Amino acid sequence: MDLSSVGLRVLCRIAESGSFTAAAAQLGYTQSAVSRQAAAIERSVGATLFERRTDGVRLTRAGMTLLRHARAILDSVDEAERDLTGEAPPTELVRLGLVPSAGLMMLPALLRRLAETAPGIRVHTRDGTTPGLARALRAGSLDVAVLTARPPYRPPDGESPRLHVTAVQDIELRLAVPATGAFAGRTSVHVDELLDASWIVTPSSSAEPLLGVWPGLPGRARIVHRAHDWSTKLQLVAGGFGVTTIPEGLSSVIPAGVITVDVQGAAPEVRRVLVARLPGAATPAVESVIEAIGSTV
């Protein structure tokens, strides 16, 4: 079996991104170059590593096995490079992923706490969806991730072995509405009042459901704006252009012109905040970050 570090990095990037096209964009390669590398790896190991699906690419069982070894090999290559150049890191790096709402709610406080309690840890962060961050954990691009789950709180992905997951907080959804207009001065609205509302949502995908519409809404929602980031969504609400769901923990960061209200006439909607990492023993640095997350929420 003859495997190059380039091929192993391509394998990791495909596992993380879930598609050849996204992997090529992230690596700066053409899609055909990534496809050739994938085919070369499969020929070298004599097994099918990638399952091509309509919603992207998933690693087969053999692919997941090779991925675990690829991470260890690439870590050793990076360590050898540091030793040869004399660029040993002065601090221990932990790569942390967060869903956007968790970043808004906890990230600044988390980083301040780590600076006080564990100054030897250097944290690099990135945001993403729960499915994307779970893939990044599997691919070895992240060490720990803050995810969210909705009832019935299934595991973040269906791969084996299961990710090590700890629940740290349950958060109820509220509704963000303009401070002026139909709901001005209200503390609650009935779900039936939302039938004709204009909704501001985060675009959905096959792996991530539509975010922003009240889940118990009867009938079909009228979606008028789609945006990925919270700032855009909340500014649209402030401008009177629609309403959107919001975790109660974000109430402290909403802009002027936005109020939050409870939704009556529908079951409470609760989202669970999870901390996930790969199975097995965690490093002391990762454990310190997880402990800080638990004390921050």
Q: At 103, which CATH number?
A: 3.40.190.10
Size (the chain), residues: 297
Residue where a domain stops, chosen among 33, 68, 85: 85
Average pLDDT over residues 273-277: 95
Residues 151 and 283 in one domain: yes
Co-location of 230 and 151 in the same domain: no
> Is the pLDDT score of 209 beyond 70?
no
Q: What secondary structure does DSSP assign to 12-37, as a single string?
A: HHHHHHSSHHHHHHHHT--HHHHHHH
**Is-contact 34 14, C-beta < 8 A?**
yes
Helices (H) and strands (E) in the chain, counts: 8, 12
Q: In CATH, what number is assigned to the domain containing residue 23?
A: 1.10.10.10
For 33-63, the pLDDT digits (tens) are 888 888 888 888 889 989 888 878 888 888 8
Contact of 127 with 98, CB cutoff 8 Å:
yes
Choose one of 85, 105, 133: the last residue of a domain. 85
What pLDDT, on a 0 to 100 scale, did the predictor assign at position 259? 95
pTM of the model: 0.75
Phi then psi for residue 247, to 5 deg, are -65, 145
User: Cα-flanking dihedrals φ and ψ of residue 224, to 5°?
Assistant: -115, -25
Residues 282 and 243 in one domain: no
DSSP string, 195-210: TT-EEEEBPP-SSS--
159 and 195 fall within a common domain: no
pLDDT of residue 18: 86
Residue 123 burial (C-beta neighbours within 10 Å; 0-12, 13-18, 19+): buried
Span 83-91, mean pLDDT?
Answer: 67
| Statement to judge: residues 205 and 231 lie in one domain | yes
Provide the domain count of the chain.
3
Q: Of 244, 105, 252, 100, nearest to 178 (Cα)? A: 244
158 and 281 part of one domain: yes
Kindly report, residue by residue over 250-260, the tens digit of the pLDDT.
Answer: 877 899 999 99
Average pLDDT over residues 275-290: 92
Range of the domain at 164: 92-168+272-296
For residues 268 and 172, give the distance between their C-alpha atoms in angstroms, rounded to a whole number: 7
Whose tokens are 């290559």? That residue is 77
- For residue range 145-167, what is the model confidence (pLDDT) as tens digits? 999 998 889 999 888 889 999 99
Whether 140 and 278 share a structural domain: yes
**135 and 202 co-located in one domain:** no
How high is the pLDDT of residue 240? 95
Let me know whether 219 and 81 are in one domain. no
Q: Which of 230, 248, 267 is nearest to 174 (CA)?
A: 248
| Same domain for 40 and 96 | no
- Asked whether the beta carbons of 225 and 236 are under 8 A apart, the reply is yes
The alpha-carbon radius of gyration of the chain (Å, integer) is 22
Of 85, 120, 138, the one marking the end of a domain is 85
Strands of 32-72, DSSP E: 50-53, 56-59
